[in-house]
Chains A and B, each alone.
Chain A
Amino acid sequence: MAVAGAKIKSIGAAQSPLLGFAMFGPAILYILLVIGAPFVLAVFYAFSDARIGSTSLHYVGLENFRSILQSPSFRKALWNSVVFTISAQIIVMVCANILSIALEKKFRGRGLVRFLILLPWVAPVSLGTIGWKWILDSIYSVITWVLIWAHVFKPYSAPMWLGEPKLAMASVILVHCWRLIPFSTVILLAGRTAIPKEIPEAAAIDGAGFWRTLFQINLPMMLPILSVAVLFGTIFTFTDMTVVYILTAGGPYDSTQTLPSLAFATGIQGSDLAAGAAISLFLVPVLVAIAYLMLRVAHRTEVN
Chain B
Amino acid sequence: MAVVETRDLTKVFKEGQLGAVNNVNLETREGEFLVFLGPSGSGKTTLLRMIAGLETPTAGEILIGGRVVNNLTPRERRIAMVFQSYALYPHLTVYKNIAFPLKAQSVPKKLHKEKVEWAASLLGIGALLQRKPRELSGGERQRVALARAIVREPSVFLLDEPLSNLDAKLRLSAREELERFHRRVGTTTIYVTHDQVEAMAMGDRIMVLNHGVVRQIGTPKEVYDDPADTFVATFLGSPPMNLIENQDVIVGFRPEHFRLAQEVKDGSKVTFKFRVDNVEYLGAEFILSGCLAGGKADGKKVIARLLLGQSFEVGTIYDFAVPEHHLKFFGRTSEKRVGPRPLTWQ
Contact = CB atoms under 8 A, between A and B. Distances in A.
Partners in one complex: yes
Interface of A: 7, 9, 11-14
Interface stretch (B53-61, B206-214, B301-309, B327-335): B53-61
Contact of A9 (B54, B55, B73): B73
Contacts of B56: 11-12, 14
B49 interface: yes
Contacts of B55: 12-14
A4 to B, nearest CB: 15
B240 interface: no
A9 B56 CA distance: 10
B54 A13 contact: yes
A13 B56 CA distance: 9
B74 interface: yes
20 contacts: A7-B71, A9-B71, A9-B73, A11-B53, A11-B54, A11-B56, A11-B71, A11-B72, A11-B73, A11-B74, A12-B49, A12-B53, A12-B54, A12-B55, A13-B49, A13-B54, A13-B55, A14-B54, A14-B55, A14-B56
Q: Which 6 A-B pairs have the closest CB atoms?
A: A12-B54, A11-B73, A13-B54, A12-B55, A11-B53, A12-B53
A9 B72 CA distance: 8
Nearest to B54: A12
Given A11-B53, A11-B73, 8 more contacts: A9-B71, A11-B56, A11-B72, A12-B74, A13-B49, A13-B55, A14-B55, A14-B56
A166 B65 CA distance: 86
A177 B315 CA distance: 75
- State which size class the interface on B falls in: under 10
Nearest to A10: B56
A217 to B, nearest CB: 36
Interface of B: 49, 53-56, 71-74
A211 to B, nearest CB: 44
Nearest to A16: B56
Greatest chain B CB density within 10 A among A7, A9, A12, A14 is at: A12
Contacts of B54: 11-14
Contacts of A7: 71
A20 to B, nearest CB: 15
B37 to A, nearest CB: 24
Contacts of A12: 49, 53-56, 73-74
A7 B72 CA distance: 11
A12 B79 CA distance: 14
A266 B55 CA distance: 59
Contacts of A9: 71, 73
B46 to A, nearest CB: 11
A58 to B, nearest CB: 54
B277 to A, nearest CB: 37
Greatest chain B CB density within 10 A among A11, A13, A14 is at: A11
Nearest to B50: A12
Nearest to B73: A11
B160 to A, nearest CB: 13
Contacts of B74: 11-12
A14 B55 CA distance: 6
A11 B73 CA distance: 5
Nearest to A11: B73
B62 to A, nearest CB: 12
A11 B50 CA distance: 10
A12 B74 CA distance: 7
A18 to B, nearest CB: 13
A142 B295 CA distance: 101
B19 to A, nearest CB: 12
Nearest to B72: A11
A13 B54 CA distance: 5
A13 B74 CA distance: 10
A151 B260 CA distance: 104
A69 B338 CA distance: 88
A191 B286 CA distance: 52
A7 B56 CA distance: 13
B84 to A, nearest CB: 14
Contacts of A11: 53-54, 56, 71-74
Contacts of A13: 49, 54-55
A222 to B, nearest CB: 33
A12 B54 CA distance: 4
B49 to A, nearest CB: 7
Contacts of B73: 9, 11-12
Nearest to A7: B71
Nearest to B76: A11
Nearest to A12: B54
Nearest to A9: B71
A14 B73 CA distance: 12
B251 to A, nearest CB: 45
A289 B283 CA distance: 68
A7 B49 CA distance: 21
